[in-house]
């Protein structure tokens, strides 16, 4: 993606994609990546017994280190969402210094089969509730769950935008569409996933 490559040693992680075809308004589909992150974080907290948090819009963190990344891409009438989760990577195998793995964090479970099952079950549960609510993230409890799991909301952030522009301020929440809200110099910015290259938490 964006000309970047990604590699991992054999059997060191979980890399998988699912196809979803939600019958919800198009304006609500920005929640899909956030839903997936909330579900995966919940599953990993329960099974692996590590404090996994969600960095807006598409990373899972333990502390300030990246454990997993999530990407979504529209495919005809559906959306393909993929996740790469670092499971048994050793420190010397990490792709970047700011990454981590379940093994490094001494997680309670490193068996990829139950980890995969747990994530998929949790995604299915959240997805059914969200689609039953016709994509209303407030009504189905997804927005409160996201805010509770967020590593971004409430923090000082630097949001880098296309054209070498950036917004630095406090992430104050997410709106009904899953867009990040940032307060900066007395102004409120509402940023969609399409506008943001990445969010880097302040040191």
Greater confidence (179 vs 162) lies with 179
Residue 167 scores a pLDDT above 90 = no
Map residue 86 onto helix, strand or coil.
strand
Q: Do both 139 and 178 map to the same domain?
A: no
Identify the band that residue 6 occupies on the pLDDT scale cut at 50, 70 and 90. Answer: confident
Beta-bridge partner residues of 200: 158
For position 52, what pLDDT does the model report?
98
For position 129, what pLDDT does the model report?
98
Residue 81 scores a pLDDT above 90 = yes
Please tell me the least confidently modeled range out of 18-27, 51-60, 157-166.
Answer: 157-166
Q: What torsion, rounded to 10 degrees, do the Cα atoms 13, 192, 145, 116 define? A: -20
pLDDT tens-digit series, residues 58-74: 899 999 899 999 999 98
Question: Does residue 140 sit within a domain?
Answer: yes
For position 193, what pLDDT does the model report?
52
Q: How far apart are CA 143 and CA 160, in angstroms?
A: 24
Question: Does residue 134 sit within a domain?
Answer: yes
Q: Do both 69 and 124 map to the same domain?
A: yes
For position 202, what pLDDT does the model report?
45
Identify the band that residue 200 occupies on the pLDDT scale cut at 50, 70 and 90. Answer: low
Q: How far apart are CA 122 and CA 44, in angstroms?
A: 10
Q: Do both 68 and 117 map to the same domain?
A: yes
Q: Do both 128 and 93 map to the same domain?
A: yes
Q: How far apart are CA 23 and CA 128, in angstroms?
A: 11
Q: Do both 182 and 114 map to the same domain?
A: no
CATH code: domain of residue 160: 2.30.30.100
CATH code: domain of residue 132: 3.30.930.10
Q: Do both 88 and 130 map to the same domain?
A: yes
Map residue 24 onto helix, strand or coil.
coil
For the full predicted model, state whether its pTM sits above 0.85.
yes
Q: How far apart are CA 119 and CA 50, in angstroms?
A: 14
Question: Does residue 102 sit within a domain?
Answer: yes
Average pLDDT over residues 168-177: 92
Question: Does residue 3 sit within a domain?
Answer: no
Q: Do both 144 and 187 map to the same domain?
A: no
Question: Does residue 104 sit within a domain?
Answer: yes
For position 3, what pLDDT does the model report?
63
Sheet with 52-55, edge to edge strand ranges: 13-20, 78-86, 65-75, 59-62, 52-55
Return the structure tokens found at 156.
């000082």
Q: Is the dihedral of CA 182, 185, 188, 193 positive or negative?
A: negative
Q: Do both 92 and 130 map to the same domain?
A: yes
- 83: domain range? 13-149
Q: Do both 143 and 169 map to the same domain?
A: no
Q: Do both 119 and 41 map to the same domain?
A: yes
Greater confidence (127 vs 1) lies with 127
Q: Give me the number of domains the chain comprises.
A: 2
pLDDT tens-digit series, residues 119-148: 999 999 999 999 999 999 999 999 999 999
Among 133, 149, 165, the domain-final residue is: 149
Residues whose CB is less than 8 angstroms from the CB of residue 163 and which lie 6 or more positions away in sequence, other chains included: none
Q: Do both 72 and 108 map to the same domain?
A: yes
For position 131, what pLDDT does the model report?
97
Residue 196 scores a pLDDT above 70 = no
Closest CA to 9 of 106, 80, 94: 94
Residues present in the chain in total: 203
Question: Does residue 2 sit within a domain?
Answer: no
Average pLDDT, whole number, for the chain? 90
Q: Do both 60 and 130 map to the same domain?
A: yes
Neighbouring C-beta atoms of residue 145, cutoff 10 Å: 20
Residue 194 scores a pLDDT above 50 = no
């Amino acid at each position: 993606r964006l000309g970047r490559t990604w590699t991992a040693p054999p059997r060191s992680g979980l890399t998988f994609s699912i196809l979803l075809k939600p019958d919800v308004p198009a304006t609500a589909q920005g929640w899909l990546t956030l839903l997936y992150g909330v579900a995966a974080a919940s599953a990993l907290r329960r099974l692996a017994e590590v404090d996994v948090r969600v960095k807006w819009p598409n990373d899972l963190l333990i502390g300030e280190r990246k454990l997993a990344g999530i990407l979504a891409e529209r495919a005809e009438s559906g959306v393909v969402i993929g996740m790469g989760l670092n499971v048994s990577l050793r420190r010397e195998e990490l792709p970047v210094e700011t990454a981590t793995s379940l093994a490094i964090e001494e997680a309670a479970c490193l068996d990829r089969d139950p980890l995969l099952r747990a994530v998929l079950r949790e995604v299915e549960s959240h997805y059914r509730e969200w689609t039953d609510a016709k994509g209303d993230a407030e009504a189905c409890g997804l927005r409160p769950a996201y805010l509770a799991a967020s590593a971004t909301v409430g923090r000082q952030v630097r949001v880098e935008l296309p054209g070498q522009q950036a917004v630095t301020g406090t992430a104050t929440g997410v709106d009904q569409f899953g867009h990040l809200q940032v307060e900066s110099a007395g102004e409120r910015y509402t940023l969609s996933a399409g506008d943001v290259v990445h969010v880097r938490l302040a040191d």
